[in-house]
Chain A
Amino acid sequence: MKLVLIKHKFTLAFLLVILVMAFVEPSYARSSLSISYDNLVTMMGVIPPIFLLIGLMDVWIPKETMIKYMGEHSGLTGLFFSFLLGSMAAGPLYAAFPIAALLLRKGARFAYVFFFLGTWTSAKLPLVLFEMTSLGVPFTLIHITSMMLMYLIGSFYLESLLKPHEKIAILDKIHAMSQ
């Protein structure tokens, strides 16, 4: 019982905030719940199929294949595939982390995985047209090119800051999670 409470302390805390709102300003509580519900619906639209795909990729893609295409010595091919994977995405940022973990676990290079995350957060091809119609073509083009250029440099820089033992610790952690 105590363990359950600790495990869900944040959930309980936020529910408490909403409960307090319900007494002080009921419309706020209603709005909080309805926005949460909308996001929950969005989440359920993205997360289960993504995990299904991760599960399938996990059992079907051999480590050697991942190393060949996104590993330490995959060069431009690695960059290309991390861009491809990131830009095909349509999900929110939090959905990218389990995929990044799978890539790392299968032997992808850290820099490419960071680049994948960068692409995911700024150049989503399914949404490019939408961004163009909402915010304009110049805005969208500057957004994508400037962010991608910065992430290209940033990904390798971020990797260079990681010491070998830190990389191993991260890999151990994600290996343990998938057991």
Chain B
Amino acid sequence: MTTTVLFYTVSILLTVLSYFKDRQKTMMALKKAYKAFTGLVPALIPMILFVGIMLTLVSPELIGKLLGDESGLTGIIVGAVLGSIVFMPSFVAFSLGENLLIGGAGYPQVAVFIATLMAVGISSLAIELKYFNKKTTILRNVFALFASLIFAGLIGGIL
């Protein structure tokens, strides 16, 4: 909530400032912003519906069960798959992770879930492809998945 207010305040203030400095440039900026926004919406809406459906079918309780302390390697794989597919705002993810740990989930399992949640974006592939190409999109996501797994391994070894 606070970030939203901050984001809007800063961007509107800068726009006003920009308008006083150069009206024409600012109008061009607004036009570009509007075009980029409307260009992205057709890809954003299905992503949001998809995540809504996924998170309904895979509830936090179910995730907690799947990532239990005894779940071992299976739990890590399940965590990686779930984290890669869905997304949620980071602060929601962190408190979900905290609740999963309290509910008995293992540290490495929660680690890989949180890390992939933030870094791997299967649900946002269509958006990434809009700006990059197939190769960079696939490689970036695969790399992020591996990095998340290594991070989970470190957590398992240290914590």
A: which residues have CB within 8 A of B? 7-8, 10-11, 13-15, 17-18, 21, 28, 31-37, 39-40, 42-43, 45-56, 58-60, 90, 92-94, 97-98, 100-101, 114, 117-118, 121-122, 124, 126-127, 130-131, 134-135, 138-139, 142-143, 146-147, 150-151, 154, 158, 161-162, 166, 169-170, 173-174, 177-178
One of A7, A36, A154 near B143 (C-beta < 8 A): A154
A121 pairs with B118, CB closer than 8 A: yes
Residue of A nearest to B7 (CB): A49
Q: Are B26 and A97 in contact (CB under 8 A)?
A: no
Q: Nearest residue in A to B29 (C-beta to C-beta)?
A: A55
B52 partner, pick from A35, A53, A122, beta carbons under 8 A:
A35
**Does B45 have its Cβ within 8 Å of any Cβ on chain A?**
yes
The reply to whether A135 and B101 form a contact with Cβ atoms under 8 Å apart is: yes
Q: How far is the CB of B137 from chain A (nearest CB, A)?
A: 10
| A158 with B139, Cβ < 8 A, contacts A94-B44, A127-B94 known | yes
Cβ of B62 < 8 Å from any Cβ of A? no
**A147 and B46 in contact (CB under 8 A), knowing A90-B3, A126-B3?**
no
- Complex partner residue of B15 from A10, A42, A52, A170, CB under 8 angstroms: A52
Contact A31 B56 (CB under 8 A): yes
Which residues 107-154 of B have a CB within 8 angstroms of A? 107, 110-111, 114-115, 118-119, 121, 124, 126-128, 130-133, 135-136, 139-140, 143-144, 147-148, 150-151, 154
Interface centre among B14, B25, B111, B132 (most CB of A within 10 A): B132
**Among listed B64-72, B73-81, B83-91, interface-contacting one:** B83-91
Distance (whole angstroms) from the CB of A158 to the closest CB of chain B: 6
Rounded to whole Å, the gap between the CB of A8 and the closest CB of chain B is 6
Are B118 and A35 touching (Cβ within 8 A)?
no
What residue in chain A is nearest B89 (Cβ atoms)? A42
Check A130–B91 contact: CB distance below 8 A: yes
Q: Measured between alpha carbons, how far is A97 from B30 in the docked complex, in Å?
A: 19
| Interface CB pairs A-B, < 8 A, 30 | A11-B46, A28-B57, A32-B52, A32-B56, A33-B52, A34-B52, A45-B4, A46-B3, A49-B8, A52-B11, A55-B31, A55-B36, A59-B25, A92-B87, A94-B121, A94-B124, A97-B128, A114-B140, A131-B90, A134-B94, A135-B101, A135-B110, A135-B114, A143-B151, A147-B115, A166-B135, A170-B132, A177-B36, A177-B39, A178-B35
